[in-house]
Each structure stands twice: as structure tokens, then as C-alpha cells.
Structure 1
Amino acid sequence: MLLSIQKIFTNLKTALFILTAVAIVLTLQLFQITNFSDRLGELKKQRLLIDKIVHSDLSDPKMASILINGSLSEIALSIKLSSSEGMLDSFITANEENASIVPSLVASSQAFSESALSWSESLPISRDSRHTQMINSRNAFLGEIDRMVDHQIYLLNTSVEMAKITTLTLLTLIIFVFLFYRSRLNQIYSDIDKVCALDTNGEAKIVLTKEMDFIQKRLARRTIQAPSACSGLINPASGLNNFKGLMTVFNAKKSSRASNTIFLAVFEIDQYASLIKSLSKEDSGNLFKKIGDIIALYEQPLDITAHLDDDHIVFVMSRNSKKIALEDCEKIIHTVEQSGFNTVTGVIKVTLSGGFLLKIPVKSIDEAIQDALKLVEKAKENGGNRIAQLREQSDSYR
């Protein structure tokens, strides 16, 4: 069953959404852990303030009153900060437990505050009894602080464990999504490469995605023209234009080429005479079809490819410069060299020799082809598998 690229990307978006959601949950948990740490800090601060109040020096009543009142205000603020409910508290512990601890802490802090004020304002004669009362309320307050500390440590540990689970879940999902969709995206890229790239080994291109399979079939499907309309314009062996078709298309596109220069290249298969003896008629036709397909990769809208009766391939190009046209011809030569061609006896390799020139207006297409054929011979004399061109202002070839 073929894969669907649309479904792959839809599922990828869903997976990324899930990863984002889990990452947000982990972020909230980390903020919650920080909140618990802050609460423990406030509880520790309350202990220090209590100790500061208990050991206050009452020899200077006014200064002692200022210090004690300031510390009591800090305790009240600290109680509020340490007992505030966090966003995720309800997911970690029951609300009833927190509801029972916080009021007891607030009540014991108020009792300690009242006894501390009473001690600081008492007369020397009753100071000892008031101090004893304050110590008793302090002990009760410290007990509630210890209870709150234990509660916060429990919440902190639970939050850390939950964060660990979330982190492991997120890491597992990331690894799974990365490996799974890396494979899927590699498959998509591989299918695109198979459909768009050149066939270098002659093997059948098998794609695994529906969309690429559809495109491949569309690209492979040739337009079938009515025999009455084109029987004299197409080379039956390769399905490319013959000489008559070349001239017909060339004249039809002539008006569109006004701004560009016309270049012409003729290609011949190296050692063609000996090669053709080993090929069946069908294999020979398929060979020229594939070479035509390779040339088509470098075609532009105004270009024409033709397969002549003498089995030469003509490529008429409309380009802005000679350099660009020559580079395209060299790419065709190299691409054919790298490609494999299927035959009944197996995959074979072939090379091309080519002749390249600028088509001057005073010469016809037929005359330009004859000049290019002379360049083809020069390319073959120099070992083949190359493109030869006429040097500017010179009769020598390269």
C-alpha cells in the first residue's frame, strides 16, 4: 500500500502539536517546582524571624517594639507567600489536606504575634510569665511550620517525580517522532529524487508515496497524437520529432525566439555501428527514447529535440548566451555517460559525441546540421564522449 504524503504531513503536524503540549506541561511543572522551593525558603525565613523576636532585647522598649513589629509584619507576608496555592497543586495532593494545614499555620502565627506583642509591651513584673506564654505559642507555631515544611517537601518530591515522568515521555516522543518521520521524509525525498533525477543504473524506479507515483505515471505517459495529424512528423522508433517535425516546430516557434540566439547541437552514439548490431529494434528505440528523455531535462520552452533517420539526435536551443547553451550540451554528454540503459541482455552504458555551433540566420537548419556533423567527427577523433565546437575566428575545432 502506497504512503500518502498529505497524511504524513498531517500526522507530523499532530505529532509536533503533542510534543509542544507535553513541553508546555513540563514547563509548568518546572515553574511549580520553583514555586515549592520558594515556599520552603519562606518557611525557613519564618523560623529566622521567630528566633529574632524571641531573642529581642527589651532594655530599649521603643527600639524593641519597632524590631518586633517589623518582624511580625514580615512573618505575616511570609505566611501568605508560603501558603498560596500553586497552579498544579490540585493534581498533586487533595485540596482538603492543604485546606487543613494553612488555617492552622495562620492561626498559630496570629497567636504567636499576639503573645510577642504582649511580651514586648509588658511591665517588668509580668514579663517572665508573658515570655513563657510567648515561648509556648512559638513552639506551637514552629510545629505548624514543620508540618507545612513536610507538606511542601512532599509536594516538591511528587512534582519532581512527575517532571521526571514528563521529561522521559517527552524524550521518548521526540526520539520516536524524529526516527519515524525522518524515515518518512527520507522516503518522500527519495521518491522525489527518483521521479526528478536521472536514471543512472537502468533499474525500474519504484516509489512508495501516492503523490509521487501519480506524478511518475503522468511524466511517463506520453501524449498520443492522432496518426493522421503527425504520422509524418514523428520518428516511430523513439517518438521524437523527425526532420520534418523539426522544421515544422522550428518554423512555428520562430517568432517567439526574437530576443534569443539560436544554437544547434548534433549528438551521435559512440561506436554506434557495432552497438546497434547487438540490440533489438525495441531496445534500439528505447535507447533513443531515454536519450531524448535526458535531453528533455535541459529543454526550455522554445527548444526542439529531433531524432533523424540516420540516428543522429538534433537539439535546437534558444539561449541568451553561448556559454549557457554549451554548458547544457556538456551536461547532456556527462549525464548520458553516467546513465544505464536497459536491454534484453542487461544494462548497458553508452557515450555521446556532439557537435555544437551557433546557427547563423543565413544558413538553413539542414546546412547547420551538416556543419555540426563535421564537429561530431572531430569529437570522435579525439576519443568521443565530448562536445566539439568551432573556435571563434578560426577553422580549428575543440
Structure 2
Amino acid sequence: MHISIRKVFMNLKIGLLVLGIGVTLLCAQLFHVSQYSERLGALKNQHLLIDKIINTNLNDPKMASILINGALSEIELSVKLSGQEALLDSFVTSNEEQASLLRSLKISSEAFRDNVLIWSESLTISQNSTHTLMMNARSAYLADIDRMMDYQIHIISESIATAKMTAILVFFAGLFIFLFYRQRLNTIYRDLHKACSIDTDGIPKVVSTQEVDFILKRLLRKSSQHSQNPSLIHNLSGLNNVKGLISSFNAKKAGKGGNNVFLALFEIDNYTSLVKTLSDEDMENLFKKIAGILSMYEQPQDVTAHIDEDRFIFLMSRSSKQLAIQEAEQIVASVGESSFNTAQASINITLSGGFLLKPPAKSLDEAIKEAIELIEKAKETGGNRVAQRRERFASTR
């Protein structure tokens, strides 16, 4: 089974996008952890400022006032930093719990600051009583700080655990993408190398990608057409005409081996309206592009031909019916997905197909007539599909 270069690069882009999203999420989580660490640092700083205040010597009132007021301002700022919103708060933390702890912290810090000012401005006689009130407020304030620190440490631990899990997933996703697409890209490179190399031994080149396989088959077909009798070639598409079909089929019958011969007949949908709207040059280009798509699937023992005006025959030698019908469906899908350039605009066309096994006892003309009947059934269901002979009619894409 050939791989598609287009799908490889499309899936690679999707893989890199997913990897980029994972790295972005990991960076956001690490930034989030750093914001929590800043909160924790602000809480720890409040501990230091409290110790600084209660150890201030009041014997020098002016210096004490400067030190205490400066420390109180820093405490007020640190309390604000302790409750500063982080990037992913709504996804990680409980807003109600954090808000409750922050309110309690603000109340106790304000009570402590008020008592500090009373203590620092009190007379020497009343300093003992005001100091006691300040220390009581300090105890309540420290308890709120400790509860807030415990909460911050908890959510930091959770955030780090989430970041670790994300990092592991990103690492293994990146490793998988690297190993998987390294193999795919090596395969593409090998196929391109085979397509560009000079054939010195005549051994058929086996490739793994659809696009390179198509190029090699097309080149092989062009080289073989140069040696064919022009009277056996359809002058518009470059495929076999009716005489060329019979001649090539008879010449290749002996090489079929144990494979069955399947006949796929394709007819252009809405051909009459196309002929009316397109020029002769546009129709010729259209025929050649359909011929190129058929050549993509042609193997050495196969025969392709352009008969009538709008019908193409693909006689394929395959080991199983499933493989043959799958290729016929892929041809219809490839034509439907392709754009055909004309003098007026780019257009899309579709094919209807009839598919059957050609028994050795049945002539080629009889098989073609039966395939035409199948095409009519395919068109009855909307066209752009392949109809095949079964116990009852069925159509597939």
C-alpha cells in the first residue's frame, strides 16, 4: 500500500501544531508556578517585616517612626501581592477559598498595623499594655499568613505535578512525531532518489509513495508510447484507441500469470454540456489529465484505452477483486478531487464507472457492453461512483 506524500505533510503539520499547543500550555503552567512563587515570597516577606517591627527600639522616636512606617508600607504592599491574580487561577484554585483567606489576611494585617501605630506613638507609661495588644494582633496576623502560605504551597505542588505530566506528554509526543515522521520522510527521500537516479540495470523501481509512483509510471508510459504504432494511439488522450486496446490486450494475455482480469469502464458525467462549453483544446487537456490519472494506477500487465469520445477502459490484472475495485474507486475519487484548468476557469468533473470480472470465455466486446449497463446504474444514483455486478445491485465510492 503506497503512502501519500500530501497526507504525510498534512499530518506532520497537525502533529507539529499539537506539539506547539502542548509546549505553549507547558510554558503557561511554568509561568503560573512562578506567579504562585511570587505570592509565597510576599507572604514570607511579611514574616520578616513583622519581626523587624516588633524588634524596633523606641528610644529614638524619629528613627523608630521612619523604620516602622516604612515596614508598615511594605506590609501593605506585600498583602496586595499575596492576593494578586495569577494566569490560571480559575482552572487550578478554589476562588472562594482563596478569597476567604485573603479577606482574613487583610483584616488581621490592618489590625496589626493599627496596633503597631498605637504602640509606637504611646507614652512610655502605656507601652506595656499597647505592646501586649500589638502582640495579640501579631499572633492572629501570623496565623492568617501561615494558612495562606499552606494554601499557596498546596496549589504550587498541584501546579508542578500538572506541569510534570504535561512535560512528559509533550516529550513522548515529540519523540513519537520525530521517530514516525523521520521514517516517513526517509521513505519520501528514498523514492525521490530512485525517481532521479539513472536506470542502469533495467530492474523495475519499487517505491512506497503514491506521487512518486505516479511520476515513474507516467515516465514509463511516455517512453513506451514512443515505440508504439501511432495508428494504435488515441490522438487526444495519448492512450490506446480501440485497435490499440485489442492489440495490447492480446499481447499481454500471456503474462497475466494466476491473476484475474478485471474490466473498469469509466464515462465522463455530463459530457454533452462539457463539449458545448469547452473548446477543443480544453477538451484535449481534460482527456490527457484523465489519462494521466489512469496511468498512475497502471501496472505492467494492465491496459488502458480511450474509446468512443467520453469512455476510458482500464483492464487490470490483479490478484483479488477487492484490490481491483479499490483501485477503480480511487480513480473516480482522484478525478473528482482534481481541478481541470480551462481557458475560462478551473472546473471539476466526475466519472461514473462500471466494474466487472472478465471471464476468459467472455469476449472483450461483451464485457464492455455489460460495463456500459453498469455505468447507467451508477448514473441513476447520481454518478461519481463505481457500480459492480453482484447478486443485487450495489454502488460504492
SS at match of 1:57: coil
CA 1:229–1:175 in structure 2 vs 1: closer, same or farther (change >3 Å)? closer
Match of 2:174 in 1: 174
Aligned equivalents of 1:203, 1:211: Cα separation in 2 = 20
Larger CA Rg, structure 1 vs 2: 1
Partner deviation per Cα, 1:315-360 (whole Å, 9 max, x = no partner) = xxxxxxxxxxxxxxxxxxxxxxxxxxxxxxxxxxxxxxxxxxxxxx
Structure 1 runs (4+) deviating above 6 angstroms are 226-230
Match of 2:160 in 1: 160
Match of 1:70 in 2: 70
Alignment-mate amino acid for residue 194 of structure 1: K
Alignment of 1:276-315 (within 5 A): none
Match of 1:330 in 2: none
Alignment of 1:210-359 (within 5 A): 210-221=210-221, 222=223, 224=225
Match of 1:92 in 2: 92
Tell me by how many angstroms 1:226 deviates.
Answer: 8.9
The answer to whether residue 23 in structure 2 is matched with residue 23 in structure 1 is: yes
Match of 1:151 in 2: 151
Aligned equivalents of 2:146, 2:159: Cα separation in 1 = 20
CA 1:219–1:229 in structure 2 vs 1: closer, same or farther (change >3 Å)? closer
Task: Work out the percentage of aligned pairs sharing the same amino acid.
Answer: 52
SS at match of 1:56: coil
Tell me by how many angstroms 1:43 deviates.
Answer: 1.3
Partner deviation per Cα, 1:33-74 (whole Å, 9 max, x = no partner) = 222222222211111100111111111222211111110000
Tell me by how many angstroms 1:161 deviates.
Answer: 0.5
The answer to whether residue 44 in structure 2 is matched with residue 58 in structure 1 is: no
CA RMSD of aligned residues (A): 2.0
Aligned equivalents of 1:157, 1:228: Cα separation in 2 = 80
CA 1:187–1:156 in structure 2 vs 1: closer, same or farther (change >3 Å)? same
The answer to whether residue 42 in structure 2 is matched with residue 42 in structure 1 is: yes
Uncovered stretches (5+) of structure 2, i.e. residues with no partner: 232-397
Aligned equivalents of 1:134, 1:109: Cα separation in 2 = 11
TM-score of the pair, normalised by structure 2: 0.56
Matched residue pairs, number? 231
Match of 1:312 in 2: none
Partner deviation per Cα, 1:179-205 (whole Å, 9 max, x = no partner) = 110111111111111222134665431
Match of 2:4 in 1: 4
Alignment-mate amino acid for residue 194 of structure 2: K
SS at match of 2:225: coil
Partner deviation per Cα, 1:128-155 (whole Å, 9 max, x = no partner) = 1111010001011100110111011111
CA 1:116–1:190 in structure 2 vs 1: closer, same or farther (change >3 Å)? same
Match of 1:194 in 2: 194
CA 1:227–1:159 in structure 2 vs 1: closer, same or farther (change >3 Å)? closer
Aligned equivalents of 1:200, 1:146: Cα separation in 2 = 82
The answer to whether residue 111 in structure 2 is matched with residue 111 in structure 1 is: yes
TM-score of the pair, normalised by structure 1: 0.55
Uncovered stretches (5+) of structure 1, i.e. residues with no partner: 231-398
CA 1:173–1:227 in structure 2 vs 1: closer, same or farther (change >3 Å)? closer
Match of 2:315 in 1: none
Tell me by how many angstroms 1:228 deviates.
Answer: 7.7
Alignment-mate amino acid for residue 224 of structure 1: Q
